A and B are shown apart, each in its own frame.
Chain A
Amino acid sequence: MSTLQSLDIAKRSAVTTPTPDVRREIPQVAKLIDVSSCIGCKACQSACMEWNDLRDDIGTCHGVYDNPMDMTPQSWTVMKFSEVEVTPGRLEWLIRKDGCMHCEDPGCLKACPSPGAIVKYANGIVDFISENCIGCGYCVKGCPFDVPRISEKDNKAYKCSLCADRVAVSQEPACAKACPTGAIRFGSKEDMLTYGEGRVTELKTRGYDKAAVYNPDGVGGTHVMYVLQHGDKPELYSNLPANPSISPMVAIWKGLAKPVALATMIGAAVVAFFHHMKQGPLEVPEDDEDYVADGQPNVVGASPGERTHVNDA
């Protein structure tokens, strides 16, 4: 939401020079969401609203528990309820807390054209700096998880900040604090991975052979991770992508295309300049035929046979 001077910045959008980098050893943080321990109470959603002062419009009931149905500029996290039968005859209710994944290689930041509108703090949190946001919606195209939402009221992009303001003062994110079952944990990424592995081991003893921690490599890992009972089928959890990565379209657009196109356009003007310096102008030789006597009309008009006077040299 706003720049936090207490947090070091590792990456800024649309900036080609390095960010301040003398401080070392800043621990990477992560949030671990254990889907197998989630009871779908939505305390996290409420806590998010409360801490971030967000109040979404009152919606309508769609006949399911999801409320609202999807993330909005006012709802940065939403519980997604899926009813699945992985084993026939055995209904499972999978509840995934959807929100920004805080990618190590954030597609939103890569796509953003406004310097410093998206930052990645040294601890791994990806945050939108609203005062620099111009409302173009490029982050939406960059994100592999369909997370950013552009407000129609103020044309700014919004998403979960991982409570960067709380983390900056050594507090855990509001959702983690509110969770009554401990399904949402927050700490160093290392600790969260260790804890997650422990949960995976336990789930395996309970028959979930494919249980896994969701920390996808395609985006360099994430700072929001899940423990999934069915780690081999993340799509079961409201279409969590199995192999998320920045779209090749965005990679071309924001990768090679930028410098090559700019250099070519400037190059074309330079080539034109030197062509002129070498060849000189293409001039028309003088010819008596191209003159008329003084006092005669000297402009052949648009319509046939028309000729007019123009006071011209």
Chain B
Amino acid sequence: MRKLFIQRYTDNQRINHWMVVVCFGLAGFSGLALFHPSMFFLTNLFGGPQWTRVLHPYLGIAVFVLFLLMFLAFWRVNTWKREDSQWVEKAPKLVFEGDESQMPPVGKYNAGQKLVFWSMTLSLIVLLCTGVLFWQAWFANSVPIPVQRVAVVLHALAAFIMSLTAVVHIYAAIWVKGTLRAMTQGTVSAGWAKRHHLLWYRDKMEGQARVPDQRAG
């Protein structure tokens, strides 16, 4: 007997994701270094304070461009459906009691995952637009100072929201066992899919009518 798996992500999608992870981590830590004095030591990771200031915007652009590829690949399956609102209503029971029995069946992504997707998307749009406005090396001198002042606050706010989203995203992957392999190997177990993404599971198994036969054989 061997465990049955379902392909969830292609090799390219996983590579894309991990490139976003690396660039987001670097952009995030370099940004954090310049946000709070207690985090300034992080500039040591980037070759010093000057280099942190130089690199941060480019790392940010890398995150945006790489995420854009993911956005194009996944935005369709992340559109909000009526059952997503129901899922959100029931979510506290799942999160605080670990009780999944009440959750409405979902497709490839549940409402929580969709919220993460859109939170990341919107945060990155705000981060790019505001970041460009006070990018000293290229644009800041041609932007009115009052505009830059609003931009820095929105930039910090969007980065804050994106960081919290990342914490939720990472923890959810740790908490829900069997999830991480979707990003390391591209597959999830059939049991995982059936339990957490029943509609997607059915969809994937539809052309797989011979499964029981194979098992019997």
Contact = CB atoms under 8 A, between A and B. Distances in A.
B1 interface: yes
Interface stretch (A98-106, A188-196, A282-290): A282-290
A265 B175 contact: no
A292 B214 contact: yes
Contact of A304 (B35, B164, B207, B214): B207
A283 B174 CA distance: 11
B148 A141 contact: yes
A36 to B, nearest CB: 30
B76 interface: no
Contacts of A282: 98, 100, 175-177
A300 B175 contact: no
B40 interface: yes
B206 A304 contact: yes
Contacts of A287: 191, 194
Contacts of A269: 167, 171
A284 B153 CA distance: 43
B171 A292 contact: no
Interface in B168-217: 168, 171, 174-178, 185, 187, 189-192, 194-196, 204-208, 211, 214-217
Q: B interface, how many residues as a size bin?
A: 35 or more
A313 B195 CA distance: 20
A14 interface: yes
A250 B149 contact: yes
A265 B160 contact: yes
Contacts of A264: 160, 164
B53 A134 contact: yes
Contacts, number: 193
B82 interface: no
A14 B53 CA distance: 15
A22 interface: no
A103 to B, nearest CB: 16
Given A137-B134, A296-B217, A302-B10, A150 B176 contact: no
A265 B136 contact: no
A298 interface: yes
Contacts of B189: 284, 290
Contact of B149 (A249, A262, A306): A249
A216 interface: no
A257 B136 CA distance: 22
A138 B152 contact: yes
B136 A113 contact: no
A158 B99 CA distance: 61
A141 B33 CA distance: 18
Contacts of B81: none
Contacts of A299: 4-7, 187
B152 A300 contact: no
A86 interface: no
A150 B34 CA distance: 18
A262 B35 contact: yes
Contact of A312 (B3, B146, B196): B3
A25 interface: no
Interface in B1-44: 1-7, 10, 33-40
Most buried by B among A115, A140, A257, A292: A292
Contacts of A257: 153, 156-157, 160
A300 B56 CA distance: 41
23 contacts: A14-B37, A113-B40, A115-B37, A137-B136, A146-B145, A247-B149, A258-B36, A264-B160, A265-B164, A265-B167, A268-B168, A269-B167, A276-B171, A276-B175, A282-B98, A282-B100, A289-B190, A292-B4, A293-B215, A294-B2, A299-B4, A302-B10, A312-B3
Given A284-B192, A299-B4, 14 more contacts: A14-B37, A113-B40, A150-B140, A155-B137, A262-B39, A281-B174, A283-B178, A286-B191, A287-B194, A291-B4, A296-B215, A300-B4, A300-B6, A313-B3
